[in-house]
Amino acid sequence: MSMRAVFLLGNVVSRRCCRRVQRSTVAGMPALVSGSRDAERTLVFANACTTQGIEAPALAAFLGAVAEAGLYVVAPELPDVRGGRITPTTVDALVRVAEQCDGRLMLGGASTGGGLAIVAGADPRIQERVELVSAIAPFADLENVLRLATTGHYDDEGILYGFPVEPLLRWAAERSLRALGSGAAVDALLANDRPELFDELYAELPLSNRTAVRAVSPICAMRDSDVQVEVLVDPHDRFFPAAEARALARAGARVTTTPALGHVTPRAGLGLARLVEFADRTLFLRPVFES
């Protein structure tokens, strides 16, 4: 592991912004940027679904630390993410931001943003320029997330089990589904809390809704992409079951699990070395098999 990664994570944990982060506009969207545009690589970062949006203090510290490490970083305020709505339009906006950046690209994201980064990285408009996608605690399958948010149960390869649902997840899932289209079928799905009825109710959604759900699901996007995807997860993540990470691994992602992560927030303790190694591998592109 390198001292660059240790230094970067130290700044993130302490929320010390070691490089100036500026407000800008990229592809018509407000954004935070930092570093030199002449840098060898650009990291386009999709933030988590939070009402603070790109104003979240931890985001500025992260961007400043990454820029200090030698990358140019761009974090756009993607449309409606602050309001909990995720649609194909959200992914399109992230791709358009990446298109505006010069040279080689790295896409990254946290939580919801991690899932969006994986989907955007597979987009034909930018796929050939994307060297790596780095996703922290992403979702994998939006259909299964909808099942979890409405019924409190998750389907792990045919096995249903209960999982505590965070209110923020339920809120975002409902707002995202309604943003894709309204009607009696949407109302019925969102009102249902019986896991055995979910598949039937989901099948009754309009085709346009189901197509859009697939379009923003990382495991679906990865089927048509050979972009390297690196995933970092907390084994006891409170938002997404560990089976979401396993689904991404089956789709081809390299998954790193460490308890030195509280959903998307680094923390000192056991597993910190794996966190540092992940930063080395994904931000500095050290060889995958280097110890």
Q: Is the pLDDT of residue 283 over 70?
A: yes
- pLDDT for 89 equals 96
| Confidence band of 8 (pLDDT split at 50, 70, 90) | low
Both structure tokens of 136: 């922290």
Angle, in degrees to the nearest 10, between helices 184-191 and 167-180: 170
**Distance separating alpha carbons of residues 93 and 111, to the nearest angstrom:** 17
Angle, in degrees to the nearest 10, between helices 88-99 and 207-215: 40
Cβ burial, residue 57 (10 Å; 0-12/13-18/19+): exposed
Flag the least confident range among 81-90, 127-136, 208-217, 280-289.
280-289
Domains observed in the chain: 3-140+220-283 (3.40.50.1820), 142-213 (no CATH)
pLDDT more than 90, % of the chain: 70
**Distance separating alpha carbons of residues 26 and 215, to the nearest angstrom:** 24
Buried/exposed 193-225: b ≥16 CB within 10 Å, e otherwise? eebeebeebbeebeeebbebbebbbbbbbbeeb
pLDDT, tens digit, 9 for 90 and up, residues 150-168: 999 999 999 999 999 999 9
Q: Is the pLDDT of residue 14 over 70?
A: no
Q: Which H or E run contains 43?
A: strand 41-46
- pLDDT for 291 equals 25
Q: What are phi and psi of 109, to 5 degrees?
A: -175, 160
**Distance separating alpha carbons of residues 150 and 168, to the nearest angstrom:** 12
Q: 118 with 217: CB under 8 angstroms?
A: no
| Confidence band of 73 (pLDDT split at 50, 70, 90) | very high
Q: Is the pLDDT of residue 12 over 80?
A: no
- Cα torsion at 109, 113, 116, 121 (round to 10°)? -10
| Confidence band of 287 (pLDDT split at 50, 70, 90) | very low
